[in-house]
Amino acid sequence: MTIKMVADHAVWPKANDAIFGLAAKAKDAIAKYGKENVIDSTLGALVDDDGNLICMDTVYNELKSLPNADIAAYAQVAGQPDYLKAVQDACFKEYKPNAHIRAVATPGGTGSIRHAIWNYTNPGDSILVCDWFWAPYVTISEEFGRTVTNYKLFNEKGEFNIDSYKENFEALLNKQKRLVTVINTPANNPTGYSLSDEEWEQVLDIAKDNAKDKENKIIIVVDVAYIDYAGVGSERRKFFSKFSNLPENIFVIVGYSMSKGFTMYGMRSGAAIGISSNEDLAEEFYYSCMHANRANWSNGTRAAMSIMTNIYNDPSKLKAYENEVNKYKDMLRKRANAFVKGSKDVDLEILPYRDGFFVSIPCENAKKASDELIKEKIFVVALKKGLRFAVCAVSEEKCAVAPAAIKKVLDNLK
């Protein structure tokens, strides 16, 4: 190319989404060999045993019975007020922190992560993220001239690696005096790990200890994109109550998404929820995010907000919706259990799974492993440090047999 027109910071490689490419290959294989002979574990969306995307009836019946004007009208820049109330109920359930809380509507969870990184870091800062992470944390950080530092998610016992977290947390904070740390729990993508309440205590103890230096500004971003499929009841939300009465220089931002819990991936709705013991700081968050909303996408998808509001404000609709979510949560749990058991039976090493859409298999040369698995008609996403198997997208029956097939391919690569 002789000249460039975009500014230097906005030049990016010609990279298309690898997962979409793999999903297209899986689709071709299904057409060729029949769906019973293919395991398509590519996309991060709930799929039924026949390979069809699950779309909750309670959600789509609500959408299709909305008055057109409730879909057509602009939402307010920060989000519809009744939505901003409902989304807190949906997120926290009975574990709402005793704190000053403000919510702002965002497109999916991505918008909330983006706001946290843009609004709470300076150019050149590094964001703290574990080494098994959702790739867009890096995309977002790099887009804005920030970098990502990884700590080790697991120690040798397969628990949260609090030592690695502390070491990296303090090194970055001492250098930057300001730190955004993104914790993707419960149901981490890609491992399915969820921090225990005790592990959360340890994380918060480190933050509180470092908050004694009032010059330090600590921002804990909790990405709960998969929370609606975590645990059995609402026990995986208990940690929210630990965000009560924190020192004012610890600010918590919860990134909530409607994509998974409402099977509304394509409707782009979620929220950034700011939590502080200081009301001024909660207000500061609100107006900072509102300005960012206006400057990036103006306002959110009105229909998605109305759906949540209408469901949460009608006990019978809420009951029906919760029954439907729980049905799929059970389905997911059975699939994951089958995969975990299948792995144990054949001695396939997997990372500790607790909840959610994915299980991860650590391995060398994951790209090569993924390519070899394609020959076996198994489509699994290659990550830097292993393979991501999407139990959300594969039937229980196939989840039970996949580990043996994966084990065989990995052994052959050794």
Q: Which of 100, 102, 217, 329 binds a copy of itself (CB under 8 A)?
A: 217
Q: Quick one: which of 114, 169, 173 has its CA closest to 144? A: 114
**Cα–Cα distance for residue pair 32/27, rounded to 1 Å:** 9
128 near a copy of itself, judged by CB under 8 A: no
214 near a copy of itself, judged by CB under 8 A: yes
**DSSP label of 225:** T
Q: How far is the CB of 124 from a copy of itself (least distance, A)?
A: 11
On whether the CB atoms of residues 230 and 95 are closer than 8 A, the answer is no
Angstrom CA distances, 55 to 32, 265, 368, stand at 26, 10, 34
Measured from the CB atom, is 110 or 161 closer to a copy of itself?
110
Q: Which of 35, 76, 131, 238 binds a copy of itself (CB under 8 A)?
A: 76
Q: How far is the CB of 396 from a copy of itself (least distance, A)?
A: 21
Stretch that binds a copy of itself, among 34-42, 70-78, 94-102, 382-390 (CB under 8 A): 70-78
Stretch that binds a copy of itself, among 100-108, 308-316, 337-345, 396-404 (CB under 8 A): 100-108
Q: Under the phi-then-psi rule, with left for phi > 0, alpha for psi from -120 to 50, and beta for the rest, what region is 372?
A: alpha
Measured from the CB atom, is 24 or 232 closer to a copy of itself?
24
Token pair belonging to 55: 């779309």
Name the phi and psi angles at 147, rounded to 5. -120, 175
On whether the CB atoms of residues 373 and 406 are closer than 8 A, the answer is yes
212 near a copy of itself, judged by CB under 8 A: no
Residues in 303-342 at the binding interface with a copy of itself, rule: CB under 8 A = 303
Measured from the CB atom, is 64 or 414 closer to a copy of itself?
64
Residues in 4-63 at the binding interface with a copy of itself, rule: CB under 8 A = 4-15, 17, 20, 43, 45, 52-53, 55, 60, 63
The residues facing 272 across adjacent strands are: 104, 255
Measured from the CB atom, is 183 or 350 closer to a copy of itself?
183
**Cα–Cα distance for residue pair 195/203, rounded to 1 Å:** 10
Q: How far is the CB of 28 from a copy of itself (least distance, A)?
A: 16
Which amino acid is present at 126? S
72 near a copy of itself, judged by CB under 8 A: yes
Measured from the CB atom, is 295 or 413 closer to a copy of itself?
295
Extended strands (E) in 152-249? 178-183, 217-223
On whether the CB atoms of residues 264 and 258 are closer than 8 A, the answer is yes
Q: How far is the CB of 335 from a copy of itself (least distance, A)?
A: 19
**Cα–Cα distance for residue pair 85/81, rounded to 1 Å:** 6
Measured from the CB atom, is 109 or 403 closer to a copy of itself?
109
Q: How far is the CB of 133 from a copy of itself (least distance, A)?
A: 15
> Pairing mode, if any, of strands 270-276 and 358-362?
unpaired
Token pair belonging to 299: 């306002």
Angstrom CA distances, 241 to 83, 99, 224, 261, stand at 21, 9, 15, 21
266 near a copy of itself, judged by CB under 8 A: yes
Alpha-helix runs per DSSP H in 248-314 = 279-296, 302-312
Give the contact letters, 352-391, x = binds to a copy of itself (CB under 8 A), - = no: ----------------------------------------
Stretch that binds a copy of itself, among 30-38, 120-128, 379-387, 393-401 (CB under 8 A): 120-128
On whether the CB atoms of residues 383 and 351 are closer than 8 A, the answer is no
Name the phi and psi angles at 67, rounded to 5. -60, 140
Measured from the CB atom, is 196 or 297 closer to a copy of itself?
297
Measured from the CB atom, is 275 or 351 closer to a copy of itself?
275
287 near a copy of itself, judged by CB under 8 A: yes
178 near a copy of itself, judged by CB under 8 A: yes
Q: Quick one: which of 224, 305, 310, 241 has its CA closest to 267? A: 305
Measured from the CB atom, is 52 or 316 closer to a copy of itself?
52
139 near a copy of itself, judged by CB under 8 A: yes
Angstrom CA distances, 277 to 86, 91, 223, 251, stand at 21, 19, 20, 8
234 near a copy of itself, judged by CB under 8 A: no
Measured from the CB atom, is 40 or 199 closer to a copy of itself?
40
**Cα–Cα distance for residue pair 280/21, rounded to 1 Å:** 46
The whole-angstrom distance between residue 337's C-alpha and the CA centroid of its chain comes to 21
83 near a copy of itself, judged by CB under 8 A: no
Q: How far is the CB of 79 from a copy of itself (least distance, A)?
A: 12
Measured from the CB atom, is 282 or 366 closer to a copy of itself?
282
